Amino acid sequence: MTLLFLILISRIYYVQVVQGAFWYGEAKERWSAAEVLSAKRGSITDRNGNMLAMDTIAYNIAVNPQAIHDAEIKDEVVNGLNQILDRPKEELRELVTAKNAGGKYFSNREMRQGGWGIDKSLADQIKEFRDQLSKEQEVSDVGIYLTESLKRYYPRNSRASQLVGYLDKEGKAITGVEAFYDEQLSGMDGWIKYEKDGKRVQLAEGEVDFQPAENGQDIQLTIDSDIQYYVEEALQEIVKEYNPKSATVIAADPNTMEILAMANVPTFNPNEFWKSDYSSFYNHAIKSLYEPGSTFKIATLAAAVEEGVFNPDEMFKSGSIKLEGIPKPINDIKREGWGTISFLEGLKHSSNVAFVKLGYERIGAQNLSEYFAKFGFGQKTGISLSNELTGSINLQNPSDAARATFGQGNVLVTPIQQVAAVAAVANGGELLQPQLVKKMTDPITKTTTEIEPKVIRRVISEETSKKVGEYLEQVVSDQKNGTGKNAYIEGYRVAGKTGTAQKVVDGKNYSTDKFVVSFIGYAPVEDPRIVVYIVVDEPNDPQAGGGAVAAPAFKQIVLKSLRKMGVSPSWEIAPDSGKKEATVPVPDMTEKKVAQAKAELAAKALNHELVGNGATVLQQIPPVGSAIHPTQRIYLITEQRDKLVIPNLTGVSLRDALEIASLVGIRLIPEGQGFVVSQKEETLNNVKVLKVVLAPPLGTVTESDPFP
């Protein structure tokens, strides 16, 4: 007995003293519990705060095969989940009967396929089914569990999907802004570690280690959801009529290179990304290389004007040109040409011969190549998206240099490079880095970082920029010879250039029936607010060029965008000019709720102003059916006369100003003619009056104006 006690005491001493620290650590490990505190991913909004991507509550389904087996409800669970989730019964049966290697049923199996990240409506159906099954079978645990989680939700579905990107089912950022700014959006998960008793209840006096989660930053993009809608609407019309292989549109502010819209077709819904194929995720705006065709002539023209070798009145022989060292002559699209014409006429007709003379013969291959590099071709623009391609301009021989002047040969560019280059022509000559993010806000520190425009370099002078704009304007405004005449917008000065490029097949030959057609331009010429590039790959009509396919879409996008921005027309049409001013009919908003009326007018890109604080539109000015200029404001009256205040009348015609003044019960005293440019409330003979000054927008255009 003594020997036994000596052995036990020795063992106790060894365990508690010699190995005491080790076993204490093991015990603490058993007592401790840890939970991950998930960080909330930052939201993504457009420039006006409209939500594009956000975290929302989701639910995950798990089953307990052991509990289901014990309750003998395998078939009931399989049939119920099949009806709610529309998953194959074989798949569900395999899940609810899953066993481990030892042949025992699992106690927990997550339902990853179709039961992960479900929304609340489905979760409510699962709860209802579970409760009903528990009641019918008289069992407390039917082996169906729901846990809350966060999932990424895109409230505007496919709107700007390739730009915004998406997260896969595992929460991994795959494309777009989601992927490029993943680190900033993700934040950092936290944790809590605590001690528990045998029943897994936290010990009141136990140690606690806590690290709070740091939520991700919120990102506000530069895009405008309304302009994005106009762009995607125009793309759908192109698809409907021409069924192209793909099509891309980029809209930007040329003064800052903030991207206002970027879209491609085909597209996809990031909420259901698994339903789309790879081609739908592809952002052609930064990842596709094209021979640009005649839209590239803008760079050659700008270089020629900067070098002083472009005289719009100088004459040349169009049709074809034979150059020393180049075996084949270079032809215009119209091989017989247009006879002897001026270089300005050559620009309007998009003559290849004119640009070979300007770029190859006068500027020279080396100097021209340097201009192309200054415009950013052959270099990444630096846009905040992954996998942007560089493109290339490789002028190995005289033929390459000559053909590069009109955008063919060894010239491969991305759409975003084209936009940045033309924006430099529009904004006064500065190449800017494209911007997608306007600002980022840290939810922890409450600080906001604003992204400022970044100038890369000056490419051409302001004087050259102005001249090139005036020349490109005539490509659009000349309704007889201008290749861009279908982009003409009545009332606005528009500059632009069409492009039609044959596609290379078999790596060396140009196709006779496969083309890439495009249009790029900006408006208004005197103060550019938007530049838009449209490129359509393989429209189903090989005879339809950029002027027929892309220019009408450009017109639609730019007109709606200018109206949305509130940009006044460049001129007022003279009554005797023979031209008809562009007008739109006023839709009926009366008796509609204010929110509905605002949404409908926004969709039609019509400006409006609320008069009063009511919830319903009682009256509108101008009246229903009136023909108004697309930029004119529509007033929505929401209260009775005695409660109204004088609204802003800027831009309103005298007739409408008189009607509004009468409505709010104040006398109007006008000065001048045209549209209201200023207003002032005064007292005259102890009576309140409203004095308004009227003037035409920017004077009157006549047929003698050089650049109407």
Q: Which residues are catalytic?
A: 294
Q: Which long-range contacts (CB under 8 A, 24 or more apart) does 390-396 make?
A: 391/289, 391/417, 392/289, 393/369, 395/365, 395/369
Hey, which residues does 202 pair with through a beta bridge? 196
Exposed/middle/buried for 382, CB within 10 Å: 0-12, 13-18, 19+?
Answer: middle
**CA 324, 325, 329, 332 torsion: positive or negative?**
negative
DSSP 494-507: -EEEEEEEEEEETT
Cα–Cα distance for residue pair 424/457, rounded to 1 Å: 10
- Helices 297-307, 462-477: axis angle to 10 degrees equals 130
Length of the chain: 708
> In Å, how far are 286, 289, 516 from 389, measured between CA atoms?
6, 8, 18
How far is the C-alpha of 416 from the C-alpha of 252, rounded, in Å? 10
**32-37 sheet: strands from edge to edge:** 32-37, 190-195, 208-211
Comparing C-alpha atoms, which of 205, 208, 206, 211 is closest to residue 193? 208
Could you give the CA distance from residue 469 to residue 522 in angstroms, rounded to a whole number? 9
Strands 608-611 and 634-637: parallel
Give the span between the Cα atoms of 468 and 475, in whole angstroms: 11
In the beta sheet, which residues pair with residue 392? Answer: 412
What amino acid is encoded at 137 in this protein?
Answer: Q
User: Distance between CA atoms of 587 and 544, rounded to whole angstroms?
Assistant: 34
